[in-house]
Amino acid sequence: MRHALAFLVLTLLAGAAFAANVTFVSPLDGMQALGPMALEVTTTASNVDRVEFYVDGTLAGVARKSPFRIAHDFGTSPNAHEVSAKVYSNGFRIVDAARVLTAAITAGETTNIDFVEVPLRIRAPRTVNAKELRITENGIEQTARELRADRGGARFVFIIDRSLSMGDGRLVAALRAVDEESKLLRADDRVEVVLFNHNVAKPRLVERGERLARTFGDVPPNGGTSLRDALASAASRERTYAIVISDGGDRNSVLSEEESLRRISGTKTVVSSIILGDTSPFLERAAKTTGGTVARASRATLQRELRKLILDINSRYTLAYQSRGNASGWRKVVVASRGREIEIVNPRKEYYAQ
């Protein structure tokens, strides 16, 4: 009996010694939770089978692969919430758990809270973490929650001008460039195309292996230009990289520059452009607002510039933070490093919050 008891005690101590650590990345304890936001944990457990997330005792979703993250909409309720996670590992034989309590929003508070993602590039001699960055929004310091080096699968929308100014082989060159350089995209990326002149076609899915130069080879460049309308048509709540190929002019859009940018900036959309002309103040502002880039090209250099642009996207970081302390409207974002050896390149500059 004594030996059996000793064995039981040793077994319990061994189990306690190897208990896995489960830590919430989002939300954090005491954080206010409103609207859509990520629920995410990290764990030291090996051979994880699944992670279950619960909000106020109700199953909210399941993650099976790292990063262990799901999306959840807390709605507009000002109440506090209990958020918990159960990590099942080693053939569901081991269960580890963690719990956080979010803070209620009192009647006297007027703070608007949004989960914001900032695309950027970082030059540094080593791996950088979120604590090494300082972020402010309209001058109010925010707390960086996550810095991801892997951009993940995304939606790519190529917005291609087919107006009269895209004659003399420019349209064909644009289609061929997309055919060739879209091969650099990940297997889990989705590719769409929008052709526009004074009319804007709906975003159209491009099948794997489809050649746009063949599909649209007979489309003649003609008509006017509705650039602002075309860009706004790509707006989506999912992570989107909108790549515009145009001479940058606009003579027919219904939307104003301000309205077009508002529709894009409140989403997870990064706008980059290749301009077959001199300049475009609208596309320059769209890139600055969303964290994209602008390149100028000729028909001969278009494919080279598109390749550089896609390679740049593939090497980007995403910084996530929970915005607090600002009212609705345009919010200016400033990201800086806390160390001299870290260089922040081309971060998102602003966005519009309802």
Which domain range does residue 253 map to? 155-314
Q: Looking at the predicted structure, is the pLDDT value of residue 139 above 80?
A: yes
Q: Do 284 and 165 sit in the same domain of this protein?
A: yes
**pLDDT tens-digit series, residues 290-342:** 989 999 999 999 999 999 999 888 877 888 888 888 888 899 999 999 888 88
Q: Do 284 and 202 sit in the same domain of this protein?
A: yes
The CATH code of the domain that includes 205 is 3.40.50.410
Distance, in Å, from the CA atom of 131 to the CA atom of 209, rounded to the nearest integer, reads 42
Q: Do 232 and 286 sit in the same domain of this protein?
A: yes
Q: Do 187 and 82 sit in the same domain of this protein?
A: no
Structure confidence at residue 4 (pLDDT)? 52
Task: Please give the span between the terminal C-alpha atoms of the chain, in angstroms, as a whole number.
Answer: 69
Domain boundary among 77, 109, 141: 109
Structure confidence at residue 298 (pLDDT)? 95
Q: Do 216 and 310 sit in the same domain of this protein?
A: yes
Written in H, E and C, the secondary structure of the chain is CHHHHHHHHHHHHHHHHCCCCEEEEECCCCCECCCEEEEEEEECCCCEEEEEEEECCEEEEEECCCCEEEEEECCCCCCCCEEEEEEEECCCCEEEEEEEECECCCCCCCCEEEEEEEEEEEECCCCCCHHHEEEEECCEEECEEEEECCCCCCEEEEEEECCHHHCCCHHHHHHHHHHHHHHHCCCCCEEEEEEECCCECCCEECCCCCCHHHHCCCCCCCCCCCHHHHHHCCCCCCCEEEEEEECCCCCCCCCCHHHHHHHHHCCCEEEEEEECCCCCHHHHHHHHHHCCCEEECCCCCHHHHHHHHHHHHHCCEEEEEEEEEECCEEEEEEEEECCCCCEEECCCCEEEEC
What is the amino acid identity at position 166?
A: M
Q: Do 354 and 246 sit in the same domain of this protein?
A: no
Distance, in Å, from the CA atom of 194 to the CA atom of 231, rounded to the nearest integer, reads 9
User: What's the domain count of the chain?
Assistant: 3
Q: Do 302 and 248 sit in the same domain of this protein?
A: yes
> Has residue 116 been placed in a domain?
yes
Structure confidence at residue 11 (pLDDT)? 45
The pTM score is: 0.60
Q: Do 292 and 330 sit in the same domain of this protein?
A: no
Q: Do 126 and 227 sit in the same domain of this protein?
A: no
Q: Do 174 and 271 sit in the same domain of this protein?
A: yes
Strand partners, 100: 83
Q: Looking at the predicted structure, is the pLDDT value of residue 346 above 70?
A: yes
Domain boundary among 109, 139, 166: 109
The CATH code of the domain that includes 134 is 2.60.40
**pLDDT tens-digit series, residues 261-295:** 999 987 889 999 999 988 899 999 999 999 899 99
Structure confidence at residue 31 (pLDDT)? 81
Q: What is the mean pLDDT of residues 169-194?
A: 95
Q: Do 251 and 353 sit in the same domain of this protein?
A: no
Band (pLDDT 50/70/90 cuts) for residue 2 is: low
